[in-house]
Structure 1
Amino acid sequence: MGPIGDAFNVILTPLYYAVSGVLLAWHWIFSHLGLDPEGGASWALSIIGLTLVIRAALIPLFVRQIKASRNMQLMQPKVKELQKKYGHDRERLAQETMKLYKDAGTNPFASCLPILLQMPIFFSLFRLIDEASDGISHGFLSEEKARHFGDAMLFGKFEISASFTQSGGSTAVQVLAAFLVVAMTATTFTTQRQLMSKNMPPSALSGPYAQQQKMLLYILPVVFAVGGIAFPIGVLLYWTTSNLWTMGQQFYVIRNNPAPGTDAEKAKIERDRRRAEAKGLPDPTLPAVGEGTDTAVETERRPQQRQQPKRQPKSQRSSQSPSKSPSQNGQRGQRNPAKKKNGNKR
């Protein structure tokens, strides 16, 4: 092993202890539940239990990933405006774009955190399974446990350490490995498409970032499909279980906290309306009386009261009354004789 391999092994050593510790804890539980300690079922279920523990620990980062990805998409109209304004100056455009992200509290790299943090765990599990069949132990795995782990047979036919490319000529192993590779690829694609199709408004599905996400939507599954044929069955179990967890968790977040202006928000509003109608409650999609626009409507319906002028003192009224001009006095004097003449004629 060269210096690069030694450095890589030093970096993964803490993860070896963490992964093997959780793995052995689940194996102890399933062994005491009646499963064969050396059988493939106990080790396969231990890998699934390891996956659940890791994904549960990554829930806060997953929520940040969902919010960051959603905010990045919602900010694309503003990014387009910056591109029109500073398209001739790439440096200024990059500065203004990062400033926009910072003011909005969005980190473009936050959407990659769960995957980036899972990759070292993925490689450590890969090394544990790949080398366990040769009796090489890591972390808390003893040589005996490592050998049992590597040689464990799932359903009596499939070694956990076997892969599509290293099946030992077994067609059954290749079929199971191919099935898990397809499942891993399909769940990766479905998870990403679920986020883009249901939790993104139409205005956010255009622009450079949206095009990048669409490219990853098709590139990542291809990468996993090509690389997956070399993964041991145990690693494929881990990754497929992780993707299924992601799908369910993402479905829950999108269903209960959709982005504004998306199909998921419309579906949630309709569900809330039907639920309230079934219980005989007011429509929750409408603001309550006295809130929002209803206040203005109620105000318009009420008859407006006439404002009475304030009574002023006599001295103030006399000072504000206009002085009579001589012409007005003359007109009044002319009207009075006319009334007298009319009276005389009668």
Structure 2
Amino acid sequence: MNFFDIILWPLRWVIEVVLVSGHAFVTSLGMPFNSGWSWVLAILVLVLIVRSAMIPLMLKQIRSMRGMMEMQPEMQKIRDKYKGKRDQFSQQAMQQEMMALYKRHGSSPLSGCWPMLIQMPIFFALFQVLQAANQNRAGVGMMSLDLAKSFSESTIFGAPMSAVLSHANGNSTIITVAVVLIVLMVGTQFFTQFQITAQNVSQAAKESPMYRQQRIMMYLFPLLMVVSGVMFPIGLMVYWALTNLWTTGQQWWTIRNMPTPGSDAAKKREERLRAAGKWDDHPDNPANKKKKFDEETGKPIVQTGQRQQPIGKQRAKKKKGKR
């Protein structure tokens, strides 16, 4: 066992627990034990657990990335201020101003990488589970030899879960299923990035270098998925495709309900709130920025001229009894 295997061992053990438990659950509902669709549903359970646990991190990432996009004009001003100044004092001062800007906006240059960095070990651990199953070896935990064989040899549309496109040897079934999964992976990834760049970026941020970099990544990531899809097993691509579908739905909800101020998505949301008669009292309305809102009802608190004194429990009971 090499160093990489040792690091992934605990994560692999947890993944096997989730997969085996998910498989046992769906088979108890009547799904065939050796069906590839039973294992697809088990992988879906894994995706739901992983992505649900990552929701707080994703929300933090969304806020941070939105702040990153919105502060690009200010960032460019700092760069212009120190343009041509290569001395150590100027470079240090520029870095300090940039760090202060990040802190003010609650953003970080690494914020967009964390979800991917967290998911990569899960991805490789699942790859090891499939690899062991394909070699007729039991897992490190709950994945017995019988379950490993079932996982490896089960098929979806006739293609084994352990099959790899690069080793298809002309098998049209494996090639077709793998290509469909790659198209699904690429399509969902591209659509997710397109939603952000087309709808959830303000006009000022669109003029920044970061926006142009994000546009490049929108085309680069799908190409990486094409290359990866050729080398990875069908079961792993199922996990990736399901994860991308979750991301697409999550991004749609975020853009609809938490759009970047000044973006097209924010304008559409304002139009929906106006049509529903909720914009005048909504916290996102610039006219309400100085108002305080009730945490339970979400409605603005009306300030009266006289401050209401707090009433103790005993006085409150007496007052209620008099009524």
TM-score higher than 0.5 here?
A: yes
Deviation at 1:88, TM superposition (A): 2.2
| SS of match in other structure, 1:141 | coil
CA distance in 2: counterparts of 1:161 and 1:51, whole angstroms? 18
Q: Which has more radius of gyration?
A: 1
CA contact (8 A) 1:255 1:264 kept: yes
DSSP 3-state at the match of 2:276: helix
Query: What is the CA–CA distance in structure 1 between the aligned matches of 2:127 and 2:83, rounded to whole Å?
Result: 45
The amino acid across from 2:154 in the alignment is A
Identify the residue that residue 299 of structure 1 maps to in structure 2: none
**Equivalent in the alignment of 2:173:** 172
Q: Give how far 1:168 is off.
A: 4.5
User: Which deviations, in whole Å up to 9, do the C-alpha atoms of 1:125-159 show, x marking residues without a partner?
Assistant: 1111122121123232112211111111224x110
* Partner Cα separation in structure 2 for residue 11 and residue 133 of structure 1: 21
CA distance in 2 between partners of 1:215 and 1:275 (Å): 38
Aligned equivalents of 1:85, 1:179: Cα separation in 2: 51
Matching residue of 1:265? 266
- 2:14 is matched with which residue? 18
Instruction: Note the aligned Cα RMSD (angstroms).
Output: 2.0
Look up the SS of the partner of 1:138 in the other structure.
coil
91 and 189 in structure 1: CA distance in 2 versus 1, 3 angstrom threshold: farther
Q: 1:83 aligned to 2:60?
A: no
Which residue pairs with 1:285 in the alignment?
279
What TM-score do the two structures reach when normalised by structure 2? 0.82
Q: What's the counterpart of residue 148 of structure 1?
A: 150
Question: What CA deviation, in whole Å up to 9, does each residue of 1:278-317 have, x standing for no partner?
Answer: xxxxxx33469xx9979xxxxxxxxxxxxxxxxxxxxxxx
Is 1:59 matched up with 2:55? yes
Tell me the CA shift for residue 169 of structure 1.
3.3
The CA distance in 1 between the partners of 2:6 and 2:82, in whole Å, is 46
Q: CA deviation at 1:248?
A: 0.6
CA distance in 1, matches of 2:287, 2:135: 72
Q: What's the TM-score, normalizing by structure 1?
A: 0.77
Counterpart secondary structure, 1:83 = helix
| Secondary structure of the structure 1 residue equivalent to 2:167 | coil
Shift of residue 98, structure 1, vs aligned partner = 2.1
Q: Amino acid of the residue matched to residue 151 of structure 2?
A: F
Residues 64 and 111 of structure 1 are in contact (CA less than 8 Å); yes or no, is this contact kept in structure 2?
Answer: no
Aligned runs of 1:15-164 on 2, under 5 Å? 15-89=11-85, 90-139=91-140, 140-155=142-157, 157-164=158-165
Q: What SS is found at the alignment partner of 1:213?
A: helix
* C-alpha contact (below 8 Å) 1:87/1:93 kept by paired residues: no
Q: CA deviation at 1:99?
A: 2.3
> Paired residue for 2:211?
210
Which portions of structure 1, spanning 4 or more consecutive aligned residues, are displaced by more than 4 angstroms?
A: 291-294
2:175 and 2:43 map into 1 onto residues whose CA distance is 20
* Structure 1 residues not aligned, in runs of 5+: 277-283, 295-346
Paired residue for 1:281? Answer: none
Given residue 77 of structure 2, which amino acid in structure 1 is its aligned partner?
Answer: E
Same amino acid, percent of matched pairs: 36
Matches within 5 A, 1:182-331: 182-276=183-277, 284-286=278-280
Contact 1:184 1:224 in 2 (8 A): yes
What is the distance in 2 between the residues matched to 1:174 and 1:293? 58
Q: What per-residue deviation string (whole Å, max 9, x for no partner) do you get for residues 178-201 of structure 1?
A: 111111011111111211211110
Q: Which residue of 2 aligns with 1:336?
A: none
CA contact (8 A) 2:68 2:105 kept: no
Q: What is the rounded CA distance, in whole Å, between the counterparts of 2:200 and 2:92 in structure 1? A: 32
